[in-house]
Amino acid sequence: MNGTLRVALVHHPVINRNGEEIASVIDEFDVFDGGRLALTYGIPTLYVVNPVPAQRDKAARIIAHAKSDARDAARGRMDALVWCASLEDAIADASRPEPPLLVATSAVAREPSVGFEDVRERLAGGSDVLLVIGKAWGLAPSVLRRCDAQLQPIDAGTGFNHLSVRAAMAILIDRIRGR
């Protein structure tokens, strides 16, 4: 039995370059590219997490367009996209029937950490996983504490790993679900 991998693209609470907790803005490219990743890798849900009312409305417009019947059939409808006001709402939705393993991501290594192989093995063993990815300068400390483990940072051997969230999402998902 295989577990289910879901992704939460968290815009709040995240931190800015000064380490202050903020809500970052939703970027339509992040949402569309996340939807494409979900289609490509068979991810049933990609949560777009942001509590700001104006951002909720923006997310609703983007998601409605991505799910529209008017979309090119060859590209596919992005039915995996779901807006949530909070990470707790995403966790509750992903907790059917059991709560998933919450795996945070960061460019900074922290313990307890898990490797890509560990996550693949848990999924293969039937565990559900919610991969929690932060915008801006990363997930707020409260989110990191809430998660069960943190995925090892992306390391290409150059010492630089401050990627755009779209690039990081693609690499992380491919390393977990790629063949």
Q: What is the CATH number of the domain that holds 77?
A: 3.40.1280.10
Q: Helices in the chain by DSSP H: which ranges?
A: 28-41, 53-66, 87-94, 116-124, 141-146, 165-177
Whether the per-residue pLDDT at 148 is higher than 70: the answer is yes
Which of 6, 22, 48 minimizes the C-alpha distance to 176?
A: 6
To the nearest whole number, what is the mean pLDDT of the chain? 93
Provide the pLDDT for residue 1. Answer: 58
Provide the pLDDT for residue 167. Answer: 97
Whether the per-residue pLDDT at 74 is higher than 70: the answer is no
- Specify the number of domains making up the chain: 1
| C-alpha–C-alpha distance, residues 17 and 30, integer Å | 20
Whether the per-residue pLDDT at 70 is higher than 80: the answer is no
| C-alpha–C-alpha distance, residues 128 and 107, integer Å | 23
* Mean pLDDT along residues 24-41: 95
| C-alpha–C-alpha distance, residues 60 and 69, integer Å | 16
The domain of 55 spans 5-177
pTM: 0.95
| C-alpha–C-alpha distance, residues 118 and 156, integer Å | 19
Give the residues across from 9 on adjacent strands.
Answer: 48, 133
What phi and psi values does residue 56 have, to the nearest 5 degrees? -60, -45
Whether the CB-CB separation of 36 and 29 falls below 8 Å is answered with: no
Provide the pLDDT for residue 174. Answer: 97
pLDDT above 90 covers what percent of the chain?
85
